Amino acid sequence: MNILVLNAGSSSLKWQLLQMPEGKLLTKGLAERIGERDKGRIIFPDRSFEGDLPSHTRVLEKLKSYLDEHAAWPIHAIGHRVVHGGNEFVEPVRINEKVKQKIRSLFNLAPLHNPPNLAGIEASEQYFPGIPQVAVFDTAFHQTIPEFEHRYAIPEKFYRDGIRQYGFHGISHSYIAKQVMKKSRAAVKVVSLHLGNGASATAILNGKSVAHSMGFGPLSGLIMGTRSGDIDPSVLLYWMQQLAMTAYEISRILNKESGLRGLTGYNDMRELERLYEKREARALLAIRMYVNRIKKYIGGYAALMNGLDALVFTAGIGEHSSLIRKKTCEDLDYLGLSLDAEKNLNPQLHDGLVHAEDSRVKIYVIPTNEELEIAAQTYQVLNPHSS
């Protein structure tokens, strides 16, 4: 079965065509700057297009034309990443009108993500009529987080209105959970660190998410490229009451101007590492703060799970920054972590295993593959009796 995976952002669309259940990649591509007049770009494996891309529908039209040229790649199903499933969706679902209406009803919870996700679905229906489509939700993996963990200590009426922790990066953390179980059945208490421009930590117990660093939205938790992560709500009250700042201004600061960029002017960890090696003060402070926040979550999750069997680094920074992995694992010997310095420099040469021989906790570097996870979940929905 050939499954087209679509990951629609507000101004972008990534796609992969995978042969399932083998997981063989047939083709992939990317559309950027959708909606920016005459500035759009579509990158195919053998060509590119630059010009006006007014909507996701236009991108899907061009993708359909490209795929029609490759008759050997018939499309049997389409899997969509949908960021927010609210309380409604605890697993992937085949898309119908009712599902689309529910996704639309969640626009207020994910105004930057769910609208383009739905646009991708509706454009697919137009250009790939009759082909089954499946929605895979980023929040679904975290629906196993127990109530005592996902609730906030606020009045009951707000909880009934949907104010609770939902969690994000769930497709990535779900993929990591499965990969760890393949590598070691004994690794039942796992902390997964998705470290990219967006960053999150998840406590995974017996393959299930039981705690997560992001909350009602993707702003809380770890320090990120441009997002603050955890911050005292009193700061927000001070800004509103004493400085008369608007909700829009505060949102812009916390989402676009904070994190590593707020501390240093840069949100690219590679640039910060270059400055770190030169002992530049702001870079030294930012990396210390970045790693310190991660350590807090590792320790806290080990406490929640009564131990730790495996620590996993994934996503851009997690997979490629030996410095961040080194600093994160320092002074965690009380948990049984011991990093092998040489393996850490070249994890790909050691099947992603970077712990020392005497480490009680396994330390992995596992490249995430959200598109493959979406394809796998799509295949399972459409073939429920397959092993």
pLDDT digits (tens, 9 = 90+) for 89-133: 989 999 999 999 999 998 888 787 888 889 889 989 988 999 999
pLDDT at 35: 77
- CA 203-204-207 angle, to 5 degrees, is 170
Output the average pLDDT for the chain: 92
pLDDT in tens, 17-42: 999 999 999 999 988 888 777 788 89
**384: pLDDT confidence band, cut at 50, 70 and 90?**
confident
**326: pLDDT confidence band, cut at 50, 70 and 90?**
very high
> Residue 236 forms beta bridges with which residues?
none
Q: pTM for this structure?
A: 0.90
**387: pLDDT confidence band, cut at 50, 70 and 90?**
low
Residue 193 has pLDDT above 70, yes or no: yes
Average pLDDT over residues 168-178: 94
Respond yes or no: is residue 333 known to be catalytic.
Answer: no
Residue 61 has pLDDT above 90, yes or no: no
pLDDT at 71: 72
Catalytic one of 52, 68, 138, 309: 138
CA dihedral 336, 339, 340, 346 (to 10 degrees): 140
Same fold, 2-137 and 185-370: yes
For residue 308, what are its two tokens?
A: 């730790």
CA–CA gap between residue 171 and residue 153 (Å, rounded): 27
For residue 384, the tally of other CB atoms under 10 A from its CB is: 7
**375: pLDDT confidence band, cut at 50, 70 and 90?**
very high
**Contact present, 210 and 305 (Cβ < 8 Å):** yes
CA–CA gap between residue 220 and residue 217 (Å, rounded): 7
Average pLDDT over residues 269-286: 95
Fold designation for 2-137: Nucleotidyltransferase; domain 5 (3.30.420)
pLDDT at 16: 94
Residue 291 has pLDDT above 80, yes or no: yes
For residue 234, what are its two tokens?
A: 């009193």
CA–CA gap between residue 267 and residue 197 (Å, rounded): 7
Q: Can you give the residue ranges of every domain in the chain?
A: 2-137, 185-370
Residue 243 has pLDDT above 80, yes or no: yes
21-35, 248-262, 283-297: which range is least confident on average? Answer: 21-35
Strand (E) or helix (H) holding 72: none
Question: How far, in Å, are 63, 122, 278, 363 from residue 58 at the CA level?
Answer: 9, 12, 47, 44
pLDDT at 310: 96
Domain 185-370 has CATH 3.30.420.40: yes
pLDDT in tens, 340-356: 999 999 999 898 999 99
Average pLDDT over residues 358-366: 95
- Please state, for a pLDDT cut of 70, what percent of the chain lies above it: 99
